[in-house]
Amino acid sequence: MSDPRSDRFVRSHLKTRHLVLLVELGRHRSILHAAQAANLTQPAASKLLGEIEHALNVQLFERLPRGVVPTWYGEVMIRRAGTALAEMDAAHQEVMELISGLSGRVSIGTVLTPSAGLVTDAVKLLKSRTAKVQVSITVDTSKILVDRMRAGEFDLVIGRLLDSNVASEFNFEPLTDEPHSLIAAADHPFVGRKDLQLADLAREPWVLPPAGSILRDRLTSMFLSQGLEPPTEVVETLAMPVVVNLLPGSRMIAAMPEETVRPYLDAGLLAVLPWDLGLRMDMYGIVTRKRHRLSPGAEAMLAALREAAQARYRR
Is 260 a member of any domain? yes
**Residue 188 and residue 256 in one domain:** yes
- In angstroms, the CA 155 to CA 302 distance is 9
**Residue 15 and residue 143 in one domain:** no
Is 159 a member of any domain? yes
> Pairing relation of β-strands 105-110 and 156-159?
parallel
Contacting residues for 302 by C-beta, under 8 A, at least 6 apart: 156, 286, 288, 294
- In angstroms, the CA 179 to CA 85 distance is 39
- In angstroms, the CA 308 to CA 225 distance is 38
**Residue 122 and residue 157 in one domain:** yes
* pLDDT at site 54: 87
Is 87 a member of any domain? no
Mean pLDDT by 10 residues, the chain (315 residues): 54 80 93 92 92 89 91 92 86 67 77 86 90 88 90 92 87 85 95 91 93 85 92 90 92 90 92 85 88 85 93 72
The domain that holds 57 is classified in CATH as: 1.10.10.10
Residue 306, Cβ density class (10 Å: 0-12 exposed, 13-18 middle, ≥19 buried)? middle
Is 92 a member of any domain? no
Range of the domain at 263: 181-272
**Residue 189 and residue 263 in one domain:** yes
Give the DSSP letter string of the chain. Answer: ---HHHHHHHHHT--HHHHHHHHHHHHHS-HHHHHHHTT--HHHHHHHHHHHHHHHTS--EEEETTEEEE-HHHHHHHHHHHHHHHHHHHHHHHHHHHHTT---EEEEEE-HHHHTTHHHHHHHHHHHH-TT-EEEEEE--HHHHHHHHHTT--SEEEE----TTTGGGEEEEEEE--B-EEEEETT-TTTT-SS--HHHHHTS-EEEPPTTSHHHHHHHHHHHHTT-PPPSSEEE---HHHHHHHSTTS--EEEE-GGGGHHHHHTTSEEE-S-----BPPPEEEEEETT-PPPHHHHHHHHHHHHHHHHHH--
* pLDDT at site 15: 84
**Residue 109 and residue 158 in one domain:** yes
Is 277 a member of any domain? no
**Residue 266 and residue 205 in one domain:** yes
Number of structural domains found in the chain:
3
**Residue 153 and residue 185 in one domain:** no
Is 95 a member of any domain? no
Is 247 a member of any domain? yes
Return the C-alpha torsion angle 47, 48, 54, 59, nearest 10: -100
**Residue 166 and residue 288 in one domain:** yes
* pLDDT at site 101: 45
**Residue 186 and residue 122 in one domain:** no
Per residue in 68-110, pLDDT tens? 999 999 999 999 898 888 888 877 776 766 655 445 789 999 9
- In angstroms, the CA 173 to CA 196 distance is 39
The domain that holds 226 is classified in CATH as: 3.40.190.10
Q: Are 34 and 25 in contact (CB under 8 A)?
A: yes
Is 85 a member of any domain? no
**Residue 198 and residue 257 in one domain:** yes
> In terms of pTM, does the model score above 0.85?
no
**Residue 161 and residue 189 in one domain:** no
